[in-house]
Structure 1
């Protein structure tokens, strides 16, 4: 039996990966990390989606991360801003994907799972260094050596942009579900979100391009 563990936030990308995993693996579980993120709704949305998809969801306390680094996703007193002059956005959380994948691997080995799936993407990655293919491949080797276990980290979205991510959702029969029930917005608004934060702008621009390509005039904002 092929088993997979999805690193799962309840957002557009990780939910697309969940549907992808359900298509490609016999048994799927999800893991969600509580790192004192700005909107706790993210955790509740992840739990709800996992329940609706009939997959097990484990929430792991990663609040230590908030003690180690300051960023706009964990500190309400830091403004959400896109990167300027080569700087990273204020939403970048140092070490987040490194720690998430490492803890996911520990959990996966304990459960006899070899396949780990994450929604990181180098095409629309805002310059985040831990979303790069090079990093994921390097960590995959490191985890295998560290635990003497044959992990395979899958990144279904690595080389596609947001328009293509919407297309993949449609191909998986999950377009409406992902549009209506996922939480990508940095301000914690489910679905099409606030329309103003960087995450919403990226999501809605990809949606606009996808809908235009499909020849539909459906609004990209509720």
Structure 2
């Protein structure tokens, strides 16, 4: 029997790696992206590229409008994206984003009769977002198993986070070994319509450091 999994694909480095890992583990992958009003819309084009080249069985974009509630530099054009190095939880944090994304992924997983969801959250080289930590994932998996027909009937739902404890360099190495083409990905919080990165934001900094520490050429295109 083919194992099915829903894989959250943003178009960035981490989710491209996770898709490759899920495929390597034998899953038939259903890639899910979100048009949530983000300023870096080039990532949606990248998400489609990543899903297609990564061998996803299907690719779906869900339309949400998180810009209607704002509160983040990624969804409110009146808030500037800060350069890397700010302390605390940065203004690029999108309130409840991963909770919303995983909830919809959970619904699609039930429809597909899939018991597995993959997400590329990381708690080592990351921006300090609260919904990227192990405690959040553990709590959401508990919720998933009391909130779904599958969970209640004993067909446990599982949230996989294979990147959680890896450095960005280790992620780059892992993806490279699996043949991920990182030139297809867009990580920048304010990438232009061509997918070119700013080189200044926190995401650009972490990505650049990852390639440098891995000793692998960085294919990122900068504006």
Taking structure 2 as the reference length, what is the TM-score of the superposition? Answer: 0.88
| Aligned residue in 1 for 2:79 | 78
Q: What are the within-5 Å matches in structure 2 for residues 59-70 of structure 1?
A: 59-63=61-65, 65-70=66-71
Q: 2:211 aligns with which of 191, 207, 213?
A: 207
Equivalent residues of 2:18, 2:120 under 8 A apart:
yes
Whole-angstrom distance in 2 between the partners of 1:219 and 1:183: 12
Provide the C-alpha distance between the structure 2 equivalents of 1:169 and 1:87, rounded to a whole number of angstroms. 29
Instruction: Say if 1:154 and 1:166 are closer, same or farther in 2 by CA, change over 3 A.
Output: same
Q: Secondary structure at the match of 2:126?
A: coil
Q: Find the residue that maps to 1:58 and give its secondary structure.
A: strand
Instruction: Tell me how far apart the structure 1 counterparts of residues 184 and 131 of structure 2 sit (CA, whole Å).
Output: 26
Deviations 1:15-36 (A, max 9, x none): 0001111101231110101110
Kept in 2, the 8 Å contact 1:181–1:191? The answer is no
The runs of 5 or more residues in structure 1 that have no matched partner are: none
Structure 1 residue 53, shift from structure 2 partner = 3.1
| 1:24-70 deviation per Cα after TM superposition (whole angstroms, max 9, x unaligned) | 1231110101110002211121112222334211111121x222232
What secondary structure is seen at the aligned counterpart in 2 of 1:29?
strand
Secondary structure of residue in 2 paired with 1:27: strand
- How do residues 4-153 of structure 1 correspond to structure 2 at under 5 angstroms? 4-55=5-56, 56-63=58-65, 65-81=66-82, 82=84, 84=86, 86-149=87-150, 150-153=156-159
Question: Is residue 191 of structure 2 the alignment partner of residue 185 of structure 1?
Answer: no
Gap runs ≥5 in structure 2 = 151-155
RMSD: 1.9
Deviation at 1:125, TM superposition (A): 2.4
| CA drift at 1:220 | 6.9
1:221–1:40 CA distance, 2 compared to 1 (3 A)? closer
Contact 2:20 2:178 (8 Å CA) reproduced: yes
Confirm or deny: 8 A CA contact 2:31 2:60 kept in the other structure.
yes
The higher relative CO (CA closer than 8 Å, separation ≥ 6) is in: 2
Contact between 2:120 and 2:162, CA under 8 Å: does it hold in 1?
yes
Aligned to 2:153: none
